[in-house]
Structure 1
């Protein structure tokens, strides 16, 4: 069936809402994993907010969202005010990033609720979602917000209603006070609002049971979006949704594969109550969409944990004549609870020898989920590193990622895979190295070779592996800085991200970052932020960043129309001293040295120098051998 363009547009918006809420919900779970920024990191982020480019501000605020500011970090009041003003910036990326950053400010964030609510009407949907997410974070601690959100539920603009519901979905169990409104919104004519309401209801836990009568109707709705949203709620409710089993069973034959997938997943948490569905699930295990097959077999494994009588039926799937079913069985084993999965180890061992390479690859990938049971599979896994099919070898390398302390037994095999003829295998081997802990440092020479690999995926994987090397990563800074000039944008972007995780840089290293901005116009803002961030806010380095690296506006320019201002003698002396110290470090920087030369000439021309400055000017004349500088010196000498 061909879907209409309007349906697809709505589906994309729905998907975005769901993903945004999923990410945020995960962030609640992982909130304790966020740590406060170190002082040098904080100073680097503050410095970036003073750049002339709004896109650099956006990068800074995105970085802020990675840290926990609430318990111990005191945010200067002028910075709070500055970020608040950015909610009104012309650039949507800046508005969205500001909304995200405000969500990390704790009690300081409450003052921005009126502006955030205004952003619910923003023209850009990314801004709307970020604002809604932040309002939800604040709202769980601010009772005054409740009536405002309740009013927005009735807004005639569907985007505003969807944003308000998204905010409520952020509040977790606190959303219980909105239950009457959510019940009404589950009847909303706009599918986007309905989907957001469904996600919010799903976050209510056991309190969502009072929605079961409505859900029974919604699971039979003629609109597939509605059925899908209702099934999502049932999945979130887990065992509390057993009354919905008859309706979920009907969805096993839904014409939309995504609906079938969610329905199959939803019954997996219902334990013995779902045993009656085993015959239908067995039939669904042959669904034409492999993702549905994966979900079905995983669900069956979860149900059988309540009763052993269906294990023979599951075992048959591992030897089914259809390779797609065998592959689904192998993949599902990788997703099972380890207690369940270990019962199928004999069947998995048979799949290692399957004639279908995709089945062998799926079986190999499942090994990483077996925890303590993996020891008995080590000999076979070692053989799979030599499999004739590159997908199997890549899967073997990927499996090492999840083997914990057992992974070090595969070091010789990984070393061989670094030289594999297939780029996917080399990339998988590089990724595996990043998770070997202290053992990974012995692979540094191989990673350095992979930085020069002909395939961009391999180079990117090797760079990403560095992020797990901890203190050893500093040894690779020179090579990583070189990769900022890689021909592939993904490699450059990955490299910049990894460099930002290593630590504070010295001036010479930051000059290399600034040089890279000239070759990477599309990533210029990200690189300029990286320079600020890794500078730790050191004053002289910040001056260099403001004057070099192709800023949107140089410090001597008043506005973006390049109108210029004068430079005082005091400022000129400071800047030229910093430039003189930087000059030797730019010798091999093909783009930055010409820019530095131009900036030196500009400062020399704009300042009213005095004879006491001749020594400083001579430094630059000796470096540049520029006749204009010589003329300045000669003129000053006549005054003496």
Structure 2
């Protein structure tokens, strides 16, 4: 393969060098002999060639099991970007797990041009648990006076996942003592990446629920949420936070309870109370959706949000209803009442929700053939038996529309439409029509409009 090093990898044109080293990466283990030449490209003046060299070295080194010893010296290169590429190449071949590299990697976590720490974190992330050999040294950086170093160190530990869980106590100390919100956020994220391996730290995390700093309390409750069944004994404490003075903490508590499933069903009324607060109703809706059909009694309240001007709230309410709704014609009516005032896309989403709320029951499915759809999708032909069944479905649905006058008027119009489709087909009578009249009168304080009622008289449909 001398042609590679003598001709292509040293070609004066950057594009030639770039594609040549990319081709070597594709060759994998058969390009092992060209690793030194590819390593030289990490110093190339052309950025595209350097970046291709990193990827090729990673691919060839990983395929052949080579640790890329020639790359290690570049970790001390005077050029920051060369050091970054060296770390990335080592990360691709799992060489970062070498404990002899710990001092060099720790040094790269110190802020320089801003790129080196990010690259080290990405390399450690690719290594995952295999990089935990560096964890103790990196954890010591959590006490560095530079907040950027503390953030990078927390991020590196988080990238190692459960393998770095032995360092969880230091991250919890950071949550308790730190005052920089960005550092706290990164420490919380790192701990979440270690879940549920940090369940032994539950008592210490519970103590953080009493912090005077709201984002510490919020972070602590979210950490309890990632521990699964281990956190269920803490449900009463988490439920108390639904009354926290800060809306972010209340919202976090609702989401965590929602994620605990049936164990948190007793907290549904308390979570639902947050629907009344504009600062928490979004997260409360999501939390109720997580609890599924156990929270179906809250469906009518969520239907009200489908009219809200806040698009995100409408989306959250729709998603929650799809998860929690049990067959309920009242919910079907509420959804259909909103649909005409929405965009075409949202209208179709709501129609799907209405079908879900109907639970596939015949009454709901027949109603949904006629309501909430554009005219071209409404049936244009109907047999006598289908007409009878449709009118009976309308009769059952009519009382559920009492709170939605516009929908009720549309239903009355469709009653007349169904009747019109079978009128004049002979002398067969649809006996359910008179039953329909009696049913609607008995069930509703607002009878159907006279015109629609007249159109339903059995005598208006002839015998065949």
Measured against the shorter chain, the TM-score band is 0.7 to 0.9
Cα distance per residue 1:372-405 (max 9 Å; x no partner) = 5543x44442332233333222211211122233
CA deviations on 1:70-118 (whole Å, 9 max, x unpaired) are: xxxxxxxxxxxxxxxxxxxxxxxxxxxxxxxxxxxxxxxxxxxxxxxxx
Shift of the alpha carbon at 1:328?
2.4
Aligned to 1:627: 451
Which of 114, 121, 146 pairs up with 1:322? Answer: 146
Counting only pairs closer than 5 Å after superposition, residues 29-178 of structure 1 correspond to structure 2 as none
**2:427 is aligned with 1:604:** no
Q: Which has the higher contact order (CA 8 A, sep 6+)?
A: 1
How many residue pairs match? The answer is 425
Classify the secondary structure of the residue corresponding to 1:546. coil
In the alignment, what sits opposite 2:227?
403
The unaligned stretches of length 5 or more in structure 2 are: 1-14, 442-446
Residue 555 of structure 1 is matched in structure 2 by 378
Q: Equivalents in 2 of 1:249, 1:529: separation in Å? A: 61
Alignment CA distance shift 1:637-1:227 (3 Å): closer
Matched, 1:275 2:96: no
Q: Which one of 349, 359, 364 corresponds to residue 526 of structure 1?
A: 349
Query: CA-to-partner distance for each residue in 1:233-252, whole Å, 9 max, x for gaps?
Result: 93898686645575698699
- In structure 2, C-alpha distance between the alignment counterparts of 1:512 and 1:210, rounded to whole Å: 66
Q: Which residue number corresponds to residue 394 of structure 1?
A: 218
Aligned to 1:355, the other structure's residue is in SS state coil
Alignment partners' CA distance in 1, 2:359 and 2:179 = 56
Alpha-carbon distance, 1:261 to partner: 11
- 1:628–1:589 CA distance, 2 compared to 1 (3 A): closer
Hey, what does 2:409 align to over in structure 1?
A: 594
- 1:234–1:241 CA contact under 8 A, matched in 2: no
Q: Measure, in 1, the Cα distance between the counterparts of 2:351 and 2:170.
A: 55
Q: Which has the larger radius of gyration?
A: 2
Distance 2:90 2:331 in 1: 50
Corresponding residue number in structure 1 for 2:176? 352
Measured in 2, the distance between the counterparts of 1:323 and 1:454 equals 35
Gaps of 5+ in 1: 1-188, 202-206, 557-564
TM-score normalised by length of structure 2: 0.72
Q: Give, in angstroms, the shift of residue 583 of structure 1.
A: 0.8
> Which whole-Å deviations, capped at 9, do the CAs of 1:285-308 have from their partners, x for residues lacking one?
4252574464467689956645xx
Rounded Cα–Cα distance in structure 2 between residues aligned with 1:404 and 1:467:
18
1:466 aligns with: 288
* Match in the other structure for 2:4: none
Q: 1:225 to 1:476 in 2, by over 3 A?
A: farther
The alpha carbon displacement at 1:595 in A equals: 2.0
User: Out of 381, 392, 416, which is 1:577 matched to?
Assistant: 392
The question of 1:490 aligning with 2:315 is answered no
Deviation at 1:228, TM superposition (A): 7.1
Secondary structure of 1:499 counterpart: helix
- The correspondence of residues 83-482 of structure 1 with structure 2, limited to 5 A, is 208-210=28-30, 216=38, 222=46, 224=48, 227=51, 231=55, 234=58, 242-243=66-67, 246=70, 263=88, 266-267=91-92, 269-270=94-95, 272-273=97-98, 275-276=100-101, 278-279=103-104, 282-287=107-112, 288=114, 291-292=118-119, 294-295=121-122, 305-306=132-133, 313-343=137-167, 345-346=169-170, 348-349=172-173, 352-368=176-192, 369=194, 371=196, 373-375=198-200, 377-455=201-279, 458-469=280-291, 472-482=294-304
1:222–1:533 CA distance, 2 compared to 1 (3 A) = farther
C-alpha change, 1:526 and 1:638, in structure 2 (3 Å) is closer
Do 1:618 and 1:633's aligned partners in 2 also have CA atoms closer than 8 Å? no
Secondary structure at 2:333's aligned position in 1?
helix
Whole-angstrom distance in 2 between the partners of 1:334 and 1:497:
31
Give yes or no for contact 1:518–1:591 (8 Å, CA) kept in 2: no
Matched, 1:542 2:359: no
After superposing the two structures, state which structure 1 stretch, 413-422 or 428-437, moved more. 413-422
Deviations 1:118-164, CA, capped at 9 Å, x for gaps: xxxxxxxxxxxxxxxxxxxxxxxxxxxxxxxxxxxxxxxxxxxxxxx
Going from structure 1 to structure 2, the CA distance change for 1:211 and 1:605 (only over 3 Å counts) comes to farther
- TM-score relative to the length of structure 1: 0.55
Instruction: Say if 1:380 and 1:417 are closer, same or farther in 2 by CA, change over 3 A.
Output: same
Deviation at 1:324, TM superposition (A): 1.6
Q: CA deviation at 1:317?
A: 1.1
Indicate how the Cα distance of structure 1 residues 360 and 514 shifts in structure 2: closer, same or farther if over 3 A, else same.
same
Q: Once the 2 structures are TM-superposed, how far is the Cα of residue 459 of structure 1 from its aligned partner?
A: 2.9
Q: Is the 8 A contact 1:235 1:267 kept in 2?
A: yes
Are the equivalent residues in 1 in contact too, given 2:136–2:167 (CA < 8 A)?
no
Q: 1:382 to 1:635 in 2, by over 3 A?
A: closer
Asked if structure 2 preserves the Cα contact closer than 8 Å seen for 1:394 and 1:428, the reply is yes
Where 2:223 maps in the other structure, the secondary structure is helix
Provide the residue aligned with 1:42 in structure 2. Answer: none
Local SS of the residue matching 2:389: helix
